[in-house]
Structures are given as structure tokens and as C-alpha cells.
Amino acid sequence: MSRNTNSVLDHTSEELRQAFAREGLERFRADQVLRWVYGQRVRDFRLMSDLARPLRERLYETWSLGCLERESSFESTDGTRKLVLRTHDGAKIESVLIPEPRRQTLCVSSQVGCSLDCSFCATGRLGLGRNLRAGEIVDQVLHGAEVLARSGKEITHVVFMGMGEPLLNLDNVIRSIRILADPRGMGLSPRRVTVSTAGVVPRMAELGRALPVRLTVSLHATTDEVRNELVPLNRRFPIATLLEACRRYPASRRDRLSFEYTLIRGVNDSPDDARRLVKLLHGLRAKVNLIPMNEHPGSAYRRPEAPQIEAFAGTLAAARLPVTVRRSRGDDIFAACGQLGAPAPSHEGQTRLILSDKQKGNALRHR
């Protein structure tokens, strides 16, 4: 990682051209640098062979090409990988690569920790460290792309479902999506980006007006009493207020709003809950992702038995509400929803720790 915090990754191509111009450099130099970074995945100015050597040295001294260091990587038995990344000020954040036959999704963090303290979520217990800069979000995608490139694949989708509440860092989230969408950057269409919110009502419409991203709302309960417990933000924006904001969300007609619903045994998984959920979402172009609770140490919440999960999904399907039951990905490495920030398990054979090149040396020394 470079010493400089003036990061190329914090800039769209036009912003970088303007920044270079202010430093007396030709604007096209910015395009050359971006081709190396996003096209060739080169992270060292000194290796950019079509730049004159004095320019390479000058850029090396004054700019950085990344702001995160890959500390470790855990691979699940199902192929999911959790990347643990360290920021320049020593904070740890996590991203999760979720490989599927036809899409490669990276789940990114938007904050160090999270202030919302949802009771089923390991990240919430960390509290909020700080907001991530746009470049730090972009860098997560570059790290994910570098890991995937080893198997000849590319990231096709990005979801903001990692650590943090994206709408409480909305300006940087929007900037990062614009930088990722830049044709001279990764060229990732905002339509392949999903932003998840616990229900920060005042900022939902702002996101929808800024970018054609998909919105996912973490609902998790059908009464305010239960949701106040699971998602304390509900005390400020109760279910009726949240669903009213969903009805006003400026989505394209072909997009359905997604609702995440973590199923927790004995808390929100009853037949009455399923019927209430159908009623609450009536009239919305909605689909529901049911997420059987991903258990983690320190949480008393448990996953319902399979028949309860099937019955709940069956009630929604019978009411013609599109529903999927999310297959848990990466829960053996605590990379599944609600598990980020929990200490990674160390049981060998099930989980492999993949070390960054720098750490490989250290690991060898520890043996």
C-alpha cells in the first residue's frame, strides 16, 4: 500500500484528468493510469511502462493506487471467500465474494462497523468506527477482482450488504458507484448494484433519484414491537413510515423492491407473521428474500427448523408474493449475512485461511 492518501480510486476519470491538469500534467495521462489500474490491475506507478520514468516517480511520490491492504482471506467449503482488509488508519473491514455459475457477486462494506446495532448482527456489536471513503469502497471491488482474476473470472454484481448502513454514508456510496460505473474505470452498470438499507427513510428517495440501483430493505419483522427489538432504527422510522417510503421509491417499473427477512426461531417465524407480511406488502411490486438466521457466537437467536421455513415461504408464495429462501453462503467462515465482524472460526479442514503475499512470509515464520 502506498504512503499517500491522495488516491486515484477516489476519482472518476474526469475528476482525475482535472486533478492531473491542475498539477500541470497532460489530461490523457489520467486515462493511461486508469487503463493500468482497472484494465491491467497494476497497482504500482513504477510498472506503468508507457509513462516516462520521471513521471512514474513523480506519481509514485504524490498519488496512491489503493487505500486498503489485504490482511487475510478465508475460503468457505462452498467457494465463498471473505476478504479481511485493513485501512490506512488500521481499521478492519470485510468484503465477501460469492461465486455462482452465472454471476460473481462482491458484497462490500460501506462503514467501519455500524451504528444501528441490529440485535441479530455481529457487525452491530462493533459500533461505528467511521464512514468509508468512496475510494475505500472502490478498492474493495479491486481486491475482489484481483482474487477472482486468478480463476479467470470477473465481478459482475456488487451488493452493499457488508458492514455498515450504506444510506448513513450515502454521499460516498453514490460516489463509489459512479467511479465503478465510469467507462474508463470498471464500467460496472449501476443496474448491477444493489444497496441494502435497514430503513433510513429520509435518504431512500435521494438514492433512487441519484442512480438506477436496486434497493433492498431489511424488514425482518411484521410488528413494530418485534422490529424495535431486531432493528432499533424502527423506533425512529416505524414499519408504516418505512413502507410508505418504499411506495414512493423512484424505481423503474420493471424493478421489484426486495425485502430481506431474517427468519429467527420463535421471534418472527410464525404463520401469523407470514400472513401479516403478505398484508404489509400488498400493492407493492415486491419480492421477499427469506434468510434463515445465520447463527454466530454471542447471539441467542437460532435458525428455525426446515419445516417452519418452508411453511413461511409457502404462505407468501400462495399469496403470489415472489419469495426466495436464501441459501446460506459462507456461514462456516462467518461471511454470511449478519456475521461480518464476528471472529472467524479456526477449525481446520472446513475453512482455509488464504494469506496475502506479505503475510505468507509471516505465516511461515510462525510454523
Query: Contact between 204 and ligand SF4 (CB under 6 A)?
Result: no
Query: Contact between 136 and ligand SF4 (CB under 6 A)?
Result: no
Residues contacting ligand SF4: total by CB under 6 A: 12
C-alpha cell at 43: 497497482
Beta-strand relationship, 214-218 and 257-263: parallel
Query: Contact between 124 and ligand SF4 (CB under 6 A)?
Result: yes
Give the residue, chosen from 121, 158, 195, 321, that forms a contact with ligand SF4 under the rule CB under 6 A.
121
Q: Which is nearer to ligand SF4, 330 or 338 (CB)?
A: 338
Query: Contact between 336 and ligand SF4 (CB under 6 A)?
Result: no
Inter-residue contact 125 to 338 (CB < 8 Å): no
Give the residue, chosen from 65, 97, 107, 114, that forms a contact with ligand SF4 under the rule CB under 6 A.
114
Query: Contact between 123 and ligand SF4 (CB under 6 A)?
Result: yes
Contact set for ligand SF4, span 237-256 (CB under 6 A): none
Active site residue 154: no
Active site residue 75: no
Burial of 359 (0-12, 13-18, 19+ CB in 10 A): middle
Q: Stretches 54-62, 90-98, 121-129, 132-140: which one binds ligand SF4 (CB under 6 A)?
A: 121-129
Q: CB within 8 A of 232, min separation 6: which ones?
A: 116, 117, 118, 119
Query: Contact between 118 and ligand SF4 (CB under 6 A)?
Result: yes
Q: Which is nearer to ligand SF4, 93 or 141 (CB)?
A: 93
Please report where in the chains the cell 475510494 appears, as a residue. Answer: 135
| 192, 193, 198, 199 alpha-carbon torsion, rounded to 10° | -90
Q: CB within 8 A of 168, min separation 6: which ones?
A: 111, 115, 116, 131, 200, 203
Query: Contact between 274 and ligand SF4 (CB under 6 A)?
Result: no
Of 75, 94, 165, 295, the active-site residue reads 94
Region for 36 from its dihedrals, namely left if φ exceeds 0, alpha if ψ lies in -120 to 50, beta otherwise = alpha
Query: Contact between 200 and ligand SF4 (CB under 6 A)?
Result: no
Q: Supply φ then ψ for residue 70, to 5 degrees.
A: -80, 115
Give catalytic residues, as residue numbers.
Answer: 94, 337
Q: Which residues bind ligand SF4 (CB under 6 A)?
A: 114, 116-118, 121, 123-124, 163-165, 198, 338
